[in-house]
Chain A
């Protein structure tokens, strides 16, 4: 058997075993279906959810908020990070505020964001953008600060002005850091979207699992959790592909 096949089998073995044990425990009536519904019940509920069309609305709702909030947060963080990283003076102006605001978890902003933006999408987008903002900002700053000065000297020597220096030297040189920031930022955005849907809106995966709790629909809660997990995995895989493509010049990606 080829080794790729072998490792695939090993990877499947544990989850499969877990599912079998779980299903048997449920079928034997050892736990109540409300405390722990069986895998088959969850799959049936998931298919029902899918067929009703509601799942698609929820997934698109959550993804839309993640996308909007992330683009807003990262879109502000990237230019600010480039400025702060390259200009010590800008850094001195902004760094103290950022150091104070950064440790506040986006969750702690929930009450104020509802006061400011009311209910619905605006507070959710605000919270998600906050979650994405800081990781992208911090990583962009260190990316720019860590650009090897030899490249800056070489570019100046070849006649590069300020704008060419930014676009063609500093930005690409900082890309490995920036992508790390984006990856962490998307992860945070994904956590925050679920939380913000539990409080401010009436669709999305976060809203749906909280709604299911009201009715004690454990099967739907777990179906929702699994959907969140798979969606997160898909986003991470996409980021991975983007990373590999954008950093194909980078040494660290070899082997």
Chain B
């Protein structure tokens, strides 16, 4: 069953001198519980697409339906994990996680219970009363994920969430995310420019083209988890997708050389 459906979506950013077609005629649908990666070089509109689903950006034309409802603005039914750790620096870890529940007016006892459970799930128990400034990037992203799990949004939109982390922390968090996804059955849309990351995580990889952003390839990934990044199947796919992404990357580079 289609849970998210994107129909003929286009987005053009109007600049003072020229306009940029970020997305052109995107048609994509996600079933409930799917883990889909949007893959492409910078400037291919993958973050624009994610932001449109999140409701932060109004499309120029086309529409997005999530669980039968057209998207008109941001909302807790489509939780976002931002690349720039967007947890609130003035709140402790526990308060950050509780924020969405407090907004909803959940009772204190229930909030405490949920927060405690999530602190355990994400290994944050010792950091409960710390402020984000004392946390590493990986820990901050754990808090951001816990904050979404607290409000239990059925959809998680992740915008290069592990992009700024070192390779080992990144792998640990990828494994945690897979564990959470399997347990919760959430629908995840994950933006990345790392081919390996998309292959390690998702059921399906949507490769996007550079300006205008269109869908270049819709690649189903059937390998069982946990996946072996050194395995033959993994590497065959990696090579194939690598070629597709590099073609777009070259177009991006040519544009940059022209000073655009």
> Chain A: residues with CB nearer than 8 A to chain B?
150-151, 153-161, 164, 168-169, 172-173, 175, 248-251, 254
Contacts and interface: CB of A to CB of B under 8 A. Distances in A.
B73 to A, nearest CB: 8
Interface in B118-146: 131-133
A254 B89 CA distance: 14
Contact of B132 (A161, A168, A249): A249
A157 B103 contact: no
A235 to B, nearest CB: 25
A249 B151 CA distance: 24
Given A159-B103, A254-B133, A172 B90 contact: yes
Nearest to A154: B86
Contacts of A156: 73-74
8 contacts: A151-B86, A151-B88, A153-B56, A154-B82, A156-B73, A157-B80, A159-B103, A161-B103
Interface of A is mostly: helix
Interface residues of B, number: 26
Contacts of B88: 151, 154-155, 169, 172-173
B82 A158 contact: no
Nearest to B82: A150
B82 A153 contact: yes
Contacts of B54: 157
Contacts of A169: 88
A248 B131 contact: yes
Interface in B6-43: none
Q: Which 10 A-B pairs rank lowest in CB-CB distance, beginning with the nearest? A: A154-B86, A158-B100, A159-B76, A172-B90, A249-B131, A156-B74, A150-B86, A249-B90, A159-B103, A251-B133
B80 A175 contact: no
A250 B88 CA distance: 11
Given A158-B103, A164-B103, A254-B133, A249 B89 contact: yes
A249 B92 CA distance: 8
B188 to A, nearest CB: 15
Given A250-B133, A254-B133, A154 B80 contact: yes
Contacts of B75: 157, 159
